[in-house]
Amino acid sequence: MISQIAKKEMLEMRRDGRFQVASAIVLGLLLVSLGIGWQQYVSVNRQHEMARAETREQWLSQGKKNPHSAAHYGVYAFKPKSPLSLVDRGADQYTGVAVWLEAHKQNEFKYKPARDANTLARFGDLTASSVLQLLVPLLIILMSFSSFAGERESGTLRLLLSMGIAREKLALGKALGVAGGLGMLLVPAALIGSAALVLASDSGSFVANLPRLGWMTASYLLYFAAFVGISLTVSALAKSARLALVCLLGFWIFNGLAAPRLFSDVSRTVHRTPSSFAFSQRMDGELKKGFDGEALKKKVMAQYGVTSMEALPVNFLGISLKAGEDHGNEVYDKLYSELWDTFEAQNRLQQQGGVVAPLMAMRSVSMGLSGTDFAQFRDFSVAAEKYRRVLNDAMNDDLKNSPKTEGPYMADEKLWSKVPEFAYVMPEVNVVLGQQAWSLGLLVLWALGATGMAGWAATRRLRAE
């Protein structure tokens, strides 16, 4: 009986011209967004690989120069893109894709695509994640708002119940019917999306991202299950199909449009960040305090057991530069940690918005598994900064131990090649899941709560009239 009810629901959907048109539009947008994401990922990834190889070659072939000059010559570090970023570009549009690593400075990230976007970008990018998070729930509402309310208005609900069909079976059959109709849309899109991932990445990268892909798929299924449950609940409780549609559209507008803006504004109000100018002014003020050079000289002379700087067996300039770097690093660690902690506090508050709007939880999980959220940007920034310090320490140590010459000391490729090429590995999926535990928990609660409410409404509150 359950399967018959589900088949009947799916048959009515296929016959409904409105469902066919809506499904075709959503599927078309989903496929177009996947194509755009695939093209952008392949293009950007290729550019990053070329730029990475070129910046390494420039570092190795910079010629003879003083090690400190080489530290100022610096290198670029490029944030690698995850193959799943073709589904959800997340914060990558705003955080930048490259950073210049040089002596004395922790620079801001450059090349932020959002800065080059046209006015149409204000309406949002067409990505697979935006289609899945906004349009698919709308399609679920259009598919299921009349599941019970429409049957009641047409009189068929009384007929079904008079035939002795258990309410539980009726509710489960309708839920499976909606799920089946949704599957006709999502399964082809999922297959095409998987093919795009395979084409966009090498075999090793694709296999490495399979756990992320699996968790992302499960998360979206929970999200869709929540909307199916909500839609069936409202349909069972509403007095008419029109009222059910109005209520569900109101929830969709709040979930997809109002809640993200509301919690974004609240998070920025509760956890205020300084302006770029104020942050730079504070940074400059802290850096100008410097360190005590005379105390450093006395400490070094005592360390080597000499009474004059000329008698030092090492180059004091390298030691002084290292001390300046250490002071700057303390300032950078303090101020950037405060700034990033504020951003993460804003993100946590927005994630908590998932209590009233499942989109907030889904968006956080989607960006996290795609490798495009702020937490993974921060992880890359920390790795790039560690590499900058390794490079600078290598230059300063070589200068410190350089032989005394009449002219300026010059190093060559032997020193440059001792600095390993920058390599970054994205966090393992278990790390991401730990960061997204709250949002994942909310998605589970939404799915279980909504389906439980649908079962209660269909079995306890459903009326034939």
pLDDT at residue 270, as a whole number = 94
Rounded to whole angstroms, what are the CA distances from 218 to 38, 435, 440?
A: 22, 17, 10
pLDDT at 360: 96
Alpha carbon distance 403, 401 (integer Å):
7
Contact in structure between 383 and 423 (CB atoms under 8 Å): no
Give the global pTM. Answer: 0.90
**pLDDT bucket at 307, cuts 50 / 70 / 90:** confident
Q: Does residue 56 have a pLDDT over 50?
A: yes
Contact 75, 389 (CB under 8 A): no
For the ranges 8-12, 155-159, 205-209, 249-253, the one whose mean pLDDT is highest: 249-253
Once rounded to an integer, what is the mean pLDDT over residues 68-81?
Answer: 91
Provide the residue ranges of all domains of the chain, joining segments of one domain with +.
Answer: 2-461
- Name the residue type at position 130: S
**Is pLDDT at 369 greater than 60 in this prediction?**
yes
> Do residues 97 and 78 make contact, with C-beta atoms less than 8 angstroms apart?
yes
Q: Identify the band that residue 122 occupies on the pLDDT scale cut at 50, 70 and 90.
A: very low
Contact 345, 55 (CB under 8 A): no
Separation CA 337–CA 325 (nearest Å): 17
Dump pLDDT digits (tens) for 325-368. Answer: 999 999 999 999 999 999 999 999 999 999 999 999 999 999 99
Q: 313, 286 in Cβ contact below 8 A?
A: no
Percent of the chain at pLDDT exceeding 90: 48
Q: Is pLDDT of 292 > 70?
A: yes
- Summarize pLDDT for 188-212 with one digit per residue, the tens: 888 888 887 777 777 667 788 889 9
Q: Give yes or no for residue 121 having a pLDDT over 70.
A: no
Tens of pLDDT, residue by residue over 254-283, are 999 999 999 999 999 999 999 888 999 999
pLDDT at 117 over 80: no
